[in-house]
Amino acid sequence: STAVYEGYFNMSHHKQGEYTITVRAHDKGGMSSQAELNFTYLPAVNLTVYDFAEGAGEDKWAYRRQHDEKPPSRNDVPGVSFSQPGYNLISEDDGRTAIDGTSKDGNYAIHRFNFKIKERVPDITRVEVLWKGLGTHITDERGATLYIWNFSSGAYDELDRGTDVFLTLHGNITENICNYIDDDGMLVVAVEQNSPQSRWFMFKLRSYIATDYICVNVSYIPHTVLNILDVKPTALIVRPGAEIRFDINVTNEGAPGTGYVNGTVVYPNGTKCDIGFERTEHMETGGTSTVYLHWTVPEDAPPGIYGFIASSWDRCNSGCDGLQDEVYLRKAFRVI
């Protein structure tokens, strides 16, 4: 006969990854059976689209004209701002373009775009850049190259390149995202025509770039952001073999969820003893929670004044992998 297993289970505070469920059943006649189900858990991802449909000149900016390097060695060139009509031309994928040509030999036509990213970098899982437009030259190589500024290396990284006149360029960043967004949330993208202006007798052979549409798509998973409010040891004087508890109050300034709190005892000579992590209760944004960490004073603990370090951590996708806040009580308690 065929048996049908019905039921459900709950997973609490689980991590991204592969899971296997094993079900074992036994009947009264001594028969037994086992079934397995494999599945992958991926946390829900949110998406923010940054383009020039709104906020132009406020939290996103565009610059135009020409430059004599490819790619530029700085992230503040070109420096001529788009006008409002120019912003309107690049706000939609509608075939209308903002076009610029060079005026000086050796220069490349180029557009630069700065975006103020509002998401926390630790929450971001993917950055996608999409550019549509035109890149052409009267005699030399047509097309354009798409770049993103790497704040860590201080140089542009190439995302995509094409040699057609009309083209779509795109690129993704999924690793070391912190290298591409500075501490103020700024992300810088540039698109540059492939050939510099040259000359044939008296004729200028110009380089041209035209932007139809530019956007940055940011995928992110919101996490808790735990700030430590205070740390209170339950005793100020203890003896070897006694237990001491540390009450650590935290508040959540991030997305609803849980986080982790860690404790470290600091001996009089500076030696550190990690006493482990504890998970907070579920907290809404602005909510608070108290975590209780316990430590038994070793029998051979030397007398003196001990310190205590409380730290909060982001659960993220792979455990406690993001230090968020830290409080150091240099004179937390005394062992006698």
96 lies in some domain: yes
Q: Are residues 116 and 233 in the same domain?
A: no
150 lies in some domain: yes
Q: Are residues 265 and 306 in the same domain?
A: yes
Please report, for the domain that includes residue 192, its CATH number: 2.60.120
Pick the closest to residue 250 from 223, 219, 281, 275 (CA basis).
Answer: 281
DSSP state of 236: S
Pick the closest to residue 35 from 47, 18, 23, 50 (CA basis).
Answer: 23
> Could you read off the pLDDT tens digit of each residue along the chain, which spans 336 residues?
555 556 555 554 455 556 677 777 777 777 777 777 675 555 578 999 999 999 999 999 999 999 999 999 999 999 999 999 999 999 999 999 999 999 999 999 999 999 999 998 988 999 999 999 999 998 999 999 999 999 999 999 999 999 999 999 999 999 999 999 999 999 999 999 999 999 999 899 999 999 999 999 999 988 889 999 999 999 999 999 999 999 999 999 998 988 999 999 999 999 999 999 999 999 999 999 999 999 999 999 999 999 999 999 975 444 445 789 999 999 999 999
305 lies in some domain: yes
91 lies in some domain: yes
CB 231 within 8 A of CB 327: yes
Q: Are residues 253 and 270 in the same domain?
A: yes
- DSSP for 268-281 reads TTS-EEEEEEEEPP
**Per the structure, how many domains does the chain have?**
2
84's enclosing H/E stretch is: helix 84-89
Q: Are residues 193 and 321 in the same domain?
A: no
Q: Are residues 211 and 314 in the same domain?
A: no
118 lies in some domain: yes
Q: Are residues 56 and 178 in the same domain?
A: yes
Beta strands 237-238; 323-335: pairing state: parallel
Count Cα atoms within 13 angstroms, Cβ side, for 190.
30
Its domain, for residue 242, covers: 226-335
Please report, for the domain that includes residue 242, its CATH number: 2.60.40.10
Cα–Cα distance for residue pair 186/178, rounded to 1 Å? 11
Instruction: Indicate the pTM of the whole model.
Output: 0.74
Q: Domain boundary at 169, 199, 220, which?
A: 220
- Cα dihedral sign for 172, 99, 101, 165? positive
Q: Are residues 88 and 201 in the same domain?
A: yes
Which amino acid would we find at residue 327?
Answer: V
